[in-house]
Structure 1
Amino acid sequence: MSKVVTTYHQRVAQEKRALIVTAATALFLELGYDRTSLARIAERSGVSRATLFKQFPTKAALFDAIVTESWSTADEEDPPPAGNVVDGLGFLGRRYAGLLGRARMADLFRIVIAELPRFPELAHAQFSQGKMPYFESVRGYLLAEHEAGTVRVEDVDLAATQFLGMISNYVFWPALLVPGWEVSADRVAEVVDEAVRTTAARYAVDQRTRS
């Protein structure tokens, strides 16, 4: 019985956390980071101040949570083992496109860009806790392929940047800047496939990995 009660309380806490994060993101966009108080967030989310302060004692902690959750995936398994760069990059590319396609991701970048002059720590949080861990996963994968001899990459940082840039420059940045910009699921898949083929054509050692 106690396990059922514990599970219930955990579910309620997760639901309240989601309400808080959603309300905070909306208020940061509407009022700006500086003018948004934790009290106002509690009111908008419909939770008590005590509940909010228990989960997020500071506004910075709440923003960090928004960044972490925006970049998290239900599918956290490691990429395929080295041996087939097309399969591995395909996995990473699809997951990256899925993250960038989230509505909250665009909101997060808008908050960071708007508040950058006054709160550079927000950009640091977004980079160090969001983008950088994903970049490192791609970098680590390419390094593993290089060590396995399936690719020859002299500058792994550059190769990872090139691969992710081919995806984000089409499916994300225009959507952030151009009102009404939409990319269909089929087009996203095509963009990812082309990024994989281009990267494999540039770096693959074994011709069979370029298929």
Structure 2
Amino acid sequence: MTWHPAKRARLVLAVGHGAGGGIEARDLRAIAAALPAHGVTVALVEQPWRVAGKKVAPAPKTLDVGWRGVWPALAEPGLPVVAGGRSAGARVACRTATGLGAAAVLALSFPLHPPGKPEKSRADELLGAGVPTLVVQGGNDPFGKPAEFPEATAHDTAYELVEIPFGDHSFAVPKRADIGQDEAVKRITDAVARWAGMLSP
């Protein structure tokens, strides 16, 4: 776990990585650099399987166990903890949020379905988070484009979705896009900072 402390922290944002990479992902690094200035301490959480040097992520239940294992350290400062993650890490955050007492969920590149298989939806995980949720999704994400996301019903926790135009699953934008890579990353950090600022401390 790598801490990026805020001087006058009001929240802790814990962010886990996806199944195909670690905490060096561009969006995670950008959030860790930007959010402390907004009163949010960021903890980048490396899953045990990555720490152990394994190349393939384990089953979802095992990922959840690993996330629960680090939660006491995240809660130790005594501040509200926002559970966050990218891709598989976003699923973990959604599945465990209410059980761990998370204040909110940040879902980066939520994998709504496997590429090309929209019938295998994971919407229930997102809608069942049970706490305020922000989804930041690339406009061209093969794991689920923003338009594919369901509307939250009265029985589900409402969530906000921010689209990063042209972004793929890692928020990379093609050179022909109307926005550059730096602008795409700035839109991510701006959205997260704005949303975090609205959460009750």
TM-score, normalised with respect to structure 2: 0.30
More helix by share: 1
**Of the two, which has the highest radius of gyration?**
1
